[in-house]
């Protein structure tokens, strides 16, 4: 991609984010001081490369997933939040009774997008024992962890007492990771792994109503996928501390801006969720800036 093609693509993406409508070639030619013929020529080239598409023969063009991704990655590393904003956030966070809950509220307020904060311990505590009890239609799992912590979970499986005793024998601790499941108990061990991960993690969510303001929310499929992502248990690997990721279209129609961090004994990740037509510059700055303030690390 040439520098001129990159400039055209970035202007088109920014116009589309702003207007929510296909962008005509005349607008790009005017914005970049190009002749209409040259603008059309470069747009055809970008379309052939997969960065743009034309929804209707007479309409302008819109970015594809590939186009949004190229644009968003070009914004890394993000611009830092203004120092005055950082200073206000520091004061507010230091006085907050629940800093994590406050953090996601601020993320929503500054970005205009739903926010999800996930925290996991740096070191997973060892499991000393696992007790499994049959219920009417479920199985009760009780994890006894080092340090005296106990976690309970109801698993959506109904198994015989004999099978549960077989599983308990395999789960005799201590262990840091679940051992391989016996034949026929793969589903039980998969549920145990999810329950254990969820029991060790903390999550904070805020701002789902912000998604309803987006035109894309008129599409029931878009809204369903967004809610599922927002409510997800967070079993995925966290973004590494100090890194910012952009995930465009991995879930159809959605974009995620994620900033990883470390604080004390915890690893964490702040995620902003929106449509692919996301305001990436603001979202990236907010995600990185808030995690820096939260952990006491500031951009130069």
Condensed to tens digits (0 to 9), the pLDDT of residues 106-163 reads 999 999 999 999 998 888 788 999 999 999 889 999 999 887 888 899 999 999 999 9
Whether residue 174 is preceded by a cis peptide bond, meaning omega within 30 degrees of 0, is yes
The most distant pair of C-alpha atoms in the chain lies apart, rounded to whole Å, by 78
Domain limits, the chain: 3-63, 83-122+201-295, 127-200
Asked whether the CA dihedral 189, 191, 196, 201 is positive or negative, the reply is positive
How many Cα neighbours within 13 Å face the side chain of 185?
23
- Structure tokens belonging to residue 88: 């206000």
pLDDT of residue 235: 57
pLDDT in the model for residue 273: 97
CB contact at 8 A, 106 and 116: no
Which residue, 171, 196, 212, 203, is CA-closest to 100? 203
Query: Residue 173: its pLDDT value, please?
Result: 80
Rounded average pLDDT over 95-103 = 92
**pLDDT mean over 188-202:** 85
Query: pLDDT value at position 202?
Result: 86
pLDDT value of residue 297: 59
Q: Write out pLDDT tens, residues 13-60.
A: 999 999 999 999 999 999 999 999 999 999 999 999 999 999 887 779
Q: Please tell me the distance from the alpha carbon of residue 105 to that of residue 174, in angstroms, as a whole number.
A: 39
**pTM score above 0.85:** no
Residue 233 or 253, more confident: 253
Pick the more confident residue, 201 or 140: 140
User: Do the domains 3-63 and 83-122+201-295 sit in the same CATH topology, yes or no?
Assistant: no
Check if CATH label 3.30.450 holds for domain 83-122+201-295: yes
Least confident range from 128-137, 190-199, 203-212, 280-289: namely 190-199
Distance of CA 148 to the CA centre of its chain: 32
Amino acid 300: pLDDT: 39
CATH of 3-63, one of 1.10.1740.10, 1.10.10.10, 3.20.20.70, 3.30.43.10: 1.10.10.10
Per residue in 235-292, pLDDT (tens digit) is 577 899 999 999 999 999 999 999 999 998 899 999 999 999 999 999 999 999 999 9
Q: Which residues contact 158 (CB under 8 A, 6 or more apart)?
A: 134, 135, 136, 137, 138, 139
Residue showing tokens 């793969």? 186
CB contact at 8 A, 125 and 119? no
Write down the mean pLDDT value for the chain. 92
Residue 7, pLDDT score: 98
**Residue 255 phi/psi, 5° resolution?**
-125, 145
pLDDT of 233 above 70:
no
């Amino acid at each position: 991609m040439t520098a001129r093609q990159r400039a055209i693509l970035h202007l088109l993406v920014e116009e589309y984010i702003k207007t929510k409508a296909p962008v005509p070639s005349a607008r790009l030619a005017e914005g970049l001081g190009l002749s209409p013929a040259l603008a059309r020529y470069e747009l055809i080239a970008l379309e052939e490369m997969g960065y743009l598409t034309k929804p209707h023969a007479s309409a302008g063009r819109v970015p594809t997933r590939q186009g949004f991704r190229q644009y968003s990655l070009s914004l890394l590393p993000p611009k830092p939040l203004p120092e005055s904003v950082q200073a206000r956030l520091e004061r507010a966070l230091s006085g907050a009774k629940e800093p994590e809950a406050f953090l996601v509220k601020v993320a929503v307020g500054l970005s205009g997008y739903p926010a999800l904060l996930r925290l996991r311990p740096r070191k997973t505590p060892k499991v000393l024992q696992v007790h499994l009890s049959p219920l009417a239609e479920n199985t009760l799992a009780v994890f006894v962890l080092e340090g005296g912590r106990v976690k309970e979970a109801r698993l959506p499986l109904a198994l015989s007492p004999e099978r549960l005793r077989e599983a308990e024998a395999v789960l005799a601790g201590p262990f840091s990771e679940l051992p391989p499941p016996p034949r026929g108990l793969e589903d039980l061990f998969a549920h145990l792994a999810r329950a254990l991960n969820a029991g060790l993690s903390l999550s904070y969510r805020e701002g789902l109503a912000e998604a309803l303001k987006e035109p894309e929310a008129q599409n029931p499929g878009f809204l369903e996928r967004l809610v599922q992502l927002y409510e997800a248990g967070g079993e995925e690997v966290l973004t590494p501390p100090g890194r910012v990721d952009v995930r465009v279209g991995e879930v159809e129609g959605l974009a995620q801006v994620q900033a990883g961090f470390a604080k004390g004994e915890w690893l964490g990740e702040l995620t902003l969720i929106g449509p692919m037509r996301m305001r990436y510059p603001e979202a990236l700055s907010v995600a990185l800036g808030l995690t820096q303030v939260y952990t006491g690390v500031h951009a130069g």
